[in-house]
């Protein structure tokens, strides 16, 4: 990301913080390069297990040029897809957690490497989010391909 892209992404992310300047300050001084941000205002986050998340992201990037922001956590065991607000409260899916109003997520600085969590697709600052229906389609395709591979391999 360029400096201006990072600045725009920081502004977009911190716009949901109760105190955006305190959030920016925390990002600059926290040795882990992370901040806690509330979900449910500009975006919700659907959290998938890594074994489903990575194939889903592969399918998604074949379907569209640029999905919304995507996070990966420690050891890449979970992935968080940024989706429109309200998605988490309507989502029904086994093994998928939703972060919406009343929840906070760990968010790394978009322009630097952070400890424990990283951007697979950083925010572009424009508000681009992954369409929940498209994400669901990609998850079904990824899960179907995995099941097919299991049947053929076993």
Write a three-state SS string for 59-112.
HHHHHCCCCCCEEECHHHCEEEEEECCCHHHHCCCCCCEEECCCCEEEEECCCC
Share the mean pLDDT of the chain: 89
Q: Residue 51 class from Cβ within 10 Å (0-12 exposed, 13-18 middle, 19+ buried)?
A: middle
pLDDT at 124 over 80: yes
Tokens of 130: 């992954």
pLDDT at 26 over 90: no
Confidence (pLDDT) at 34: 87
Residue of 145 and 20 predicted with greater confidence: 20
72, 46 contact by CB (below 8 A): no
Interval 125-141 mean pLDDT: 94
């Amino acid at each position: 990301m360029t400096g201006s892209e990072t600045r725009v992404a920081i502004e977009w992310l911190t716009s949901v913080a109760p105190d955006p300047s305190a959030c920016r300050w925390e990002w600059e001084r926290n040795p882990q390069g992370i901040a806690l941000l509330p979900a449910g205002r500009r975006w919700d986050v659907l959290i998938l297990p890594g074994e489903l998340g990575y194939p889903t992201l592969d399918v998604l990037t074949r379907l569209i040029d640029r999905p919304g922001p995507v996070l990966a956590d420690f050891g890449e065991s979970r992935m968080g897809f940024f989706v429109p607000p309200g998605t988490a409260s309507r989502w029904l899916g086994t093994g998928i957690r939703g972060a919406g109003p009343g929840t906070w997520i760990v968010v790394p600085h978009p322009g630097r490497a952070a400890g424990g969590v990283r951007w697979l697709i950083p925010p572009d600052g424009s508000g681009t989010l992954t369409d929940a229906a498209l994400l669901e389609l990609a998850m079904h395709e990824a899960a179907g391909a995995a099941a097919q591979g299991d049947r053929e391999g076993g």
